[in-house]
Amino acid sequence: MKFYLVRHGETEWNKLGKFQGSTDIKLNERGLAQAKESAQAAAHWGHSAIYSSPLTRTMQVAKEIERVTSAAVVAKPGLMELVLGDLEGVTGDEMLNGWPDVFHTWRESPASVKMPNGESLVQLQERAWETIVSIEKDHEDDESVLVVSHNFAIRTIIGALVGIPLANFHCLSLGLSSLCIFESDRRGEGGDRARRLITYNSTCHLSPENR
């Protein structure tokens, strides 16, 4: 089976360079255009189910995809973005000025940081990967499923998939409304699963102005 992982499109906070985390921000005009183009591409992916973070910006993408396919959207809290606590709505410069220790540790050792009154990457990866494995078990006999989530969440999923330590989290970049694809197959009767990353951070389904 294949997993299609779609990041949500642009919001006003993305434009302003603000950390969104679990704050429920909606897509802006460009983000909605990106969502529609993602949906047009998804119409040909053959997925049997759509799973999404319950936040508005991801559900808007999932609902656009739902309109062009026969699959219904199911919200999964485990696919939500990293909870940033006190850093929700903060820019990088504001983080540096207000939380310098957290800023520098985040840059140098992201796996060791727990956001003030928020989550750590370890916690995010555990719940996001657990959600992926649960979806995988529910759709073993299906051709593909589609998942709509967030920047940090998808990057931790891919990290778990290919064995990239969270210490190297900043080595990965993920564009708005980008697509990642991986395959998952069982090795023999009752065997372990073989998972292979096929596509990472693709925006070829978007028009040039929306990439």
Q: Quick: pLDDT tens for 41-59.
A: 999 999 999 999 999 999 9
**How many whole angstroms separate alpha carbon 211 and alpha carbon 193?**
33
Q: Is 81 a catalytic residue?
A: yes
Give the total residue count for the chain.
211
Percent over 70 (pLDDT), the chain: 98
Reply yes or no on whether the pLDDT at 70 is more than 90: no
Structural domain boundaries, residue 122: 2-210
CATH of residue 89 = 3.40.50.1240
Average pLDDT score over residue span 28-37: 98
What the block records as the tokens of 156 is 């931790």
**pLDDT tier at 9, thresholds 50, 70, 90:** very high
**Closest of 179, 181, 186 to residue 197, by C-alpha:** 181
Q: Is 189 a catalytic residue?
A: no
Q: Any bridge partners for residue 107, and if so which?
A: none
**Closest of 115, 68, 59, 126 to residue 89, by C-alpha:** 115
Question: Which residue is catalytic, options 37, 66, 81, 119?
Answer: 81
Number of domains, the chain = 1
Output DSSP code: residue 110.
G
User: What is the pTM assigned to this prediction?
Assistant: 0.96
The predicted-structure confidence for 106-127, as pLDDT tens digits, reads as follows: 999 999 999 999 999 999 999 9
**pLDDT tier at 66, thresholds 50, 70, 90:** very high
